[in-house]
Amino acid sequence: MSQSDQASDDGQSSASKQPQLKPYKQKETLRRLYLKRDLTQREIAERFGVHQTTVSRWIREHDIEKDPVPDCVSLIADQYGKHQLIDENGDSVYVHQLLACLDYRPTEVFDPTNHVHHQMNAPYSIDLIENVRVVDQAEHLGAHATLVDEAETVLQHVFNEFDPDLGTPPETDGDTE
């Protein structure tokens, strides 16, 4: 019998005395998957059968960070209530795009043929991870209006989505006062 097969005095093998951290808790495993392989937290969580928040906790615990945010960043809201981060060079990104990066690869989120769609039909943007989804342009347009609609109908639908008080003007009987 080799030394590695022999049990120690207390009946346990020497290998079982050292606690084995689960892979999603190991700093080097997380660093390799998150930084080197560029997997999202969701993808890492799915790989190990845990929730994304568990992976997020261990990434924070080990101080694993992706590229830092520039020092000078401004947060503004556009006329539709969508929040943007703008750096000192004028480059910008929408907050809902950043949220989508938690569940999708950045290459999918920022692919010019894709859009990040807010799923709830609310009068303003609700920036929650559960409310954003990456879709192709055609699906995004279809979610807001049918492709056969006239431009006025499409615009009216968009206005209604963002401000229901701007709905279609009431029909008139032709009399003006």
What is the structure's pLDDT at 30?
93
Task: Please state, in angstroms and as integers, the Cα–Cα distance from residue 46 to each residue in 42, 83, 135, following that order.
Answer: 6, 29, 21
The pair of three-digit structure tokens given for residue 4, joined into one six-digit string: 């590695």
Cβ proximity of 88 and 107 under 8 Å: no
Q: How far is Cα 1 from Cα 126, in angstroms, rounded to an integer?
A: 65
pLDDT tens track, the chain, 177 positions: 444 444 444 444 444 555 688 998 999 999 999 988 888 899 999 999 999 899 989 999 999 988 765 566 677 777 767 788 787 777 888 888 988 998 898 899 989 899 998 887 776 777 887 888 899 988 887 777 643 444 455 455 555 555 545 444 444 444 444
Q: How far is Cα 94 from Cα 60, in angstroms, rounded to an integer?
A: 23
What is the structure's pLDDT at 125?
74
Q: How far is Cα 171 from Cα 139, in angstroms, rounded to an integer?
A: 32
What is the structure's pLDDT at 134?
92
Task: Please state, in angstroms and as integers, the Cα–Cα distance from residue 57 to each residue in 23, 27, 67, 177, following that order.
Answer: 13, 12, 18, 65
What is the structure's pLDDT at 27?
93
Counting DSSP H helices and E strands in the chain, the numbers are 8, 5
Q: How far is Cα 139 from Cα 114, in angstroms, rounded to an integer?
A: 9
The pair of three-digit structure tokens given for residue 131, joined into one six-digit string: 């409310």
What is the structure's pLDDT at 62?
93
What is the structure's pLDDT at 45?
92
In the chain, the amino acid numbered 9 is D
What is the structure's pLDDT at 82?
76
What is the structure's pLDDT at 14?
47
